[in-house]
Amino acid sequence: MNLRLPSAVLAGLLFTLTGAGADEQLVPPPPGAKLVFEAVGQGVQIYACEKAGDGYHWVFKAPDAALFDSTGRQVGIHFAGPAWQLADGSKITGEVVGQAPAPAQGAIAWLLLRVKTHAGKGVLDGVDLVRRIDTQGGVAPAGACDAAQAREARMRYTARYLFYAAPR
C-alpha cells in the first residue's frame, strides 16, 4: 500500500475535519472511550439498482475506500463488512449501533459502530468502537433508477474514521 493522498486534498480534508464541536454532538463515543487510531477514508460508496415491490431503488452495497494517516500515507483499506484492514495486518468488522444525519448536505450519515470481529495483530487489536464522522458525498444517486440504467453506481466520498477502545 504505497498510495498517497495528494497534499492539497489532505490539507483541505484536515482543515475541514479538525473543527471540533459538531462531531462530539452526533454519534458520540461512550464516556471514557480511548481514541486508539484515526484515519481519513477516501473512496466510493457502492449502490445497486434493484427491483423492489413498488419499482426500482438504489440500495447500498458496500464501501470501497483507502485509509490515510495524518501525513497522507495510505495505511489501510475499508470495504464490505463493514470492515477495516490496516497494513500491519490487523482487521475488524463492525455493526452500526448509532447514526445521525450528516451536517453537510449531500453527505452520508455519521455512524457509531461496535466491533464484531477482530483478526490479525496490530493497531486494531484493542479497538471496540468505530466512529465515521465529517463525511462529504457518498449518498445514493438522486432520483429513481430503472431496469434500463446501470446496475451499479459508485459515489465518491470522504470521511474521518475514529477507532476507540471501550472504557474498561
| Average of per-residue pLDDT values in the chain | 86
CA atoms within 13 A on the CB side of 157: 34
pLDDT in tens, 27-51: 898 899 999 999 999 999 999 998 8
pLDDT in tens, 51-98: 888 888 899 999 999 999 999 999 999 999 999 999 999 999 999 999
Confidence check: pLDDT of 10 > 50: no
Distance CA 11, CA 13 (A): 5
SS3 label, residue 110:
strand
- ∠ CA(71), CA(108), CA(48), 5° rounding? 110
Chain centroid offset of residue 112 CA:
10
**How large is the average pLDDT for residues 123-149?**
92
SS3 label, residue 32:
coil
pTM: 0.84
